[in-house]
Amino acid sequence: MNARQRLRVGYGTNGLTDLRLDDALGLLAELGYDGVGLTLDHMHLDPLAPGLAARTARVARRLGALGLTTTIETGARYVLDPRRKHGPSLLDADPRDRAARVRLLLTAVGVAADLGAHAVHCFSGVAPPDTDDTTAWRRLTEALAPVLDAAADAGVPLAIEPEPGHLLATLDDFHRLRAALGDPAPLGLTLDIGHCQCLEAAPPAACVRAAAPWLRHVQIEDMRRGVHEHLPFGEGEIDFPPVLDALAATGYQGLTVVELPRHSHAGPQLAAESAAFLREAATAAAKGAPAC
């Protein structure tokens, strides 16, 4: 059995967008977080603005001074297109649009390498209307190929997230992609615990155990069955100690990042409450865990 790992908790900057990045990082360090899920976006580390290398170096120094680790998130809603949420995607009909998303992911891999991040998160996107399944999957695999090459060169895993409503929506879809690509070493999984509750047939703890060999990034929040709404802990249906017990047993060593992108208005309060909730749940999980 893998050695049980202490829960290493992060908080997503997409839930702290009303704070300057320096202030957000300082807050998380003060609250005892181990790291941060850093969403590349205009309000924090803008991947499209001039001087990215110098700004990334400054963030690296700040993270080092605070003792925080990081993962890079690429789920900013309007970073590429100010009028189309999460557009363009890897599935768009226009190859120029797909290329824009690929360039963003390549930039994210470079930033991740410079920050010593443990993974780069991504997602498939929603298939455009009138796009058949074969075409959508072909576009996805072709678009990811150069990103996976860059991730291999940088030594940073690419962790794709099953997202409700997207082409790649479930763990089964992840395995379909993995098989289509020939199981490349840099390709891993972002497992969102709330999405498991929302969409998967198995309960979240079982999803964690099933996903263990491919886990490279974990997101966590509360959620209800069949409703894709990220909720603060205690407002959904998830029983968290069994989930954290399963996660600890996998040997996963990365961050488990609180994902509350619609709650920035209460970000500092929720960051504090989330840290306390997860510490309590992790303690309960450890007390109930069998000896390894």
pLDDT tier for residue 277 given thresholds of 50, 70 and 90 = very high
Domain assignment present for 211: yes
Q: What share of the chain is helix, strand, coil (3-state, %, to 5)?
A: 45, 15, 40
Domain assignment present for 14: yes
Above 60 in pLDDT, residue 178? yes
DSSP conformation letters of 82-123: TTSTT-S-TT-SSHHHHHHHHHHHHHHHHHHHHHT-S-EEE-
- Reported residue count of the chain is 292
Mean pLDDT across the chain: 95
* Structural domains counted in the chain: 1
Domain assignment present for 3: no
The whole-number pLDDT of residue 174 equals: 98
Domain assignment present for 52: yes
pLDDT in tens, 181-208: 999 999 999 999 999 999 999 999 999 9
pTM value > 0.85: yes
Mean pLDDT over 56-84 rounds to 97
Domain assignment present for 184: yes
Whether the ω angle into residue 261 lies within 30 degrees of 0, i.e. cis, is no
Looking from the CA of 208 toward its CB, the CA atoms found within 13 Å total: 25
CATH number for the domain harbouring residue 226: 3.20.20.150
The whole-number pLDDT of residue 3 equals: 61
Domain assignment present for 4: no
Domain assignment present for 1: no
The whole-number pLDDT of residue 182 equals: 96
Above 50 in pLDDT, residue 290? no
The whole-number pLDDT of residue 1 equals: 37
pLDDT in tens, 216-238: 999 999 999 999 999 999 999 99
pLDDT tier for residue 5 given thresholds of 50, 70 and 90 = confident
Please name the residues in contact with 7: beta carbons below 8 A apart, sequence gap of 6 or more.
244, 247, 248, 256, 278, 282
**The token pair that represents 163 in the structure block:** 């997202």
> Cα 280 to chain center, whole Å?
23
pLDDT in tens, 115-146: 999 999 999 999 999 999 999 999 999 999 99
Looking from the CA of 28 toward its CB, the CA atoms found within 13 Å total: 31
Mean pLDDT over 145-150 rounds to 98
Which domain range does residue 235 map to?
9-288
